[in-house]
Structure 1
């Protein structure tokens, strides 16, 4: 690793938590000033679990596991053996992994809503009744393990600059807070390309068509291209969270809930359990 790459990596080790902390403070402030759903509390139900256990404790432990997996993969094929993007500018590397991973996560997210097995690892994410800047952190560790291994392994194995992983992780964290935020933002035509609260809050709503809609994370364009976009003008979701599910309150029980025995020999939860109570098919 060159001294220039090492300097950039060290810079991002400082910049990453700083950017995330400042972004969180700004988003919290905007939620108080311009709420999408007025009256939603800052310290809502589940705040402690989501902030301390999911955001910090779980992220640390799962991060160690992902790092071990990627190191094992890298060791199996040789350090930086492929190095297909090593000569690219850092901005081009980041753009590549941004686009490819966002396309992957759209389709994997759709599959999570259709597969009864994968839904079990995604259910916790939809259990938040008051969607806000912190809601995105509530995700089952198996879901995080899958998605972030798929996300960060190519960055290492294709020989990207070491700071790209931290830049990508920072972008993930800030964008994740933003799309779940309780902010009454309207981006107009940009919403056909860039995802934000006005579409993603509908994804967490108590309304559904089939197995859901608005599966995009950073880019909304996938939903518009593949027919899963939903943004009714002048309407707001009537409620958020799971419907007809007695989801546990404690962190440990929430994690273990994914391993509960099936309700029948062939468990296939109704689509309404995965998204809402009122069909939009009219």
Structure 2
């Protein structure tokens, strides 16, 4: 429902920050636009034709710089580009305080157009990045060195600002170092601001069973932890549906005509069979 979606959105701090910045921008832009007529008459003492010229220059600078900002966003990210847009618009607003002639008015109009475009074209991508209709309740690790994988998850969540998501450590099978070990070797799991559960299977069961509505269990790796949770509490299938990334049925990887058992299946076939045979929705 609408109210349920709004409740989820309000909980997203980054989403609310983006909305607040947009409202602030619109207020500032509206105030500037409303005062332009009086500014030209009383301060510059010029005809209103320079307002039309300024608007044309602002529109031209906006359209001409769209490809530049789109390319910049791909290089440095949506949020960084969004911040640059806000900062540059703030600077262009301050420059309006020092306008004393038509030439300076034209120049600030061009700067306004550049910064406004930078801000507006990033609004939708930033809002999409900040808010997702998927409300993540828990992330568990599975297969091989699960404590090390928990470090990977923790560092990633800390970087993206989602330390509200708890982490559950699945059963450890060995002490192998993952491919991304150099990136996490200096990261201590104890520094994670959120919650880390040592018994991942137990917390997975409790998260599902304690939920007032059915949850979706999404598995993007081998199914050792999920299979273990099923053995611990088979009733979790009654309050959840399972979605897994485990090979193909009708078509193979990279367009092959024959189906594939990809890594997530081959790594733990027994666990995969147990999970697939469970009475999920």
TM-score in terms of structure 1 length:
0.26
Q: Which has the larger radius of gyration?
A: 2
Higher RCO by CA contacts (8 Å cutoff, separation 6 or greater): 1
TM-score in terms of structure 2 length:
0.26
**Higher share in helix:** 2
